[in-house]
A = this chain, B = another copy of it.
């Protein structure tokens, strides 16, 4: 990615970073509320998602204006198109954080983390927060090592996602249907959040290196069932 941006491209980049920061705050609050049963924190995530949505709309409008007024070509054009895609992914990440917060509110005053999966979900939450913070920094700096770290964190989340299924489908699982459903859905939310982050990281990588692999961004994920 070019180091010297036109003013408008710098504006687009700044707004992407701003939205990524809001998403990082949202996932931090959401995963904390999920682990602790803090419904007030969950309510903040739910109401603040509207701000993420508004800023995404504003960013998209800015990108469209830029296309219309400045009619960028070549690399600049790809940056603007990539920004439109990244904003859609960031908005979806905000929605996922909101879904996690909704679990907390739904299960209150009980905790939302299903029995026997506390350490797993705590770790998945930590990784999602790390991912979101690294993503914000990547969008700010284009330091491609961060893209690599994001993909490694995603690999670990995928493994934890498999472990959730191993647990709920295993012989020692004592959870009722409600906990089975909660674990299944929640695990998928944490995993999809990471997938979106990887998708954005790949786009940044592409813009920097010309290596186009955007359309493997959502890897085909076999339902993560252990062999049985």
Quick one: given A68-B74, A74-B68, are A173 and B180 in contact (CB under 8 Å)? Answer: no
Q: 8 Å CB contacts to B: which residues of A166-181?
A: 168-169, 173, 175, 177-178, 180-181
Partner of A98, one of B49, B92, B220: B220
Q: Within 8 Å of chain B (Cβ to Cβ): is A64?
A: yes
Complex CA gap A92/B173 in Å reads 33
Cβ-based interface call for A154 (8 A): no
- Chain B: CB-nearest residue to A76: B68
Q: Which residue of B lies closest to A61 (CB)?
A: B212
Q: Copy number in this complex?
A: 2
Number of interface residues of A (CB under 8 A): 46
- Annotate A58-82 by CB proximity to B: 1 below 8 A, 0 otherwise: 0010011001100101100110010
A82-118, CB under 8 A of B: which get 1 and which 0? Answer: 0011001001100100110011001000000000000
Contact in complex: A78, B64 (CB < 8 Å): yes
A residues bordering B, Cβ < 8 Å? 49, 53, 56-57, 60, 63-64, 67-68, 71, 73-74, 77-78, 81, 84-85, 88, 91-92, 95, 98-99, 102-103, 106, 165, 168-169, 173, 175, 177-178, 180-181, 184-185, 188, 214-215, 218, 220-223, 225
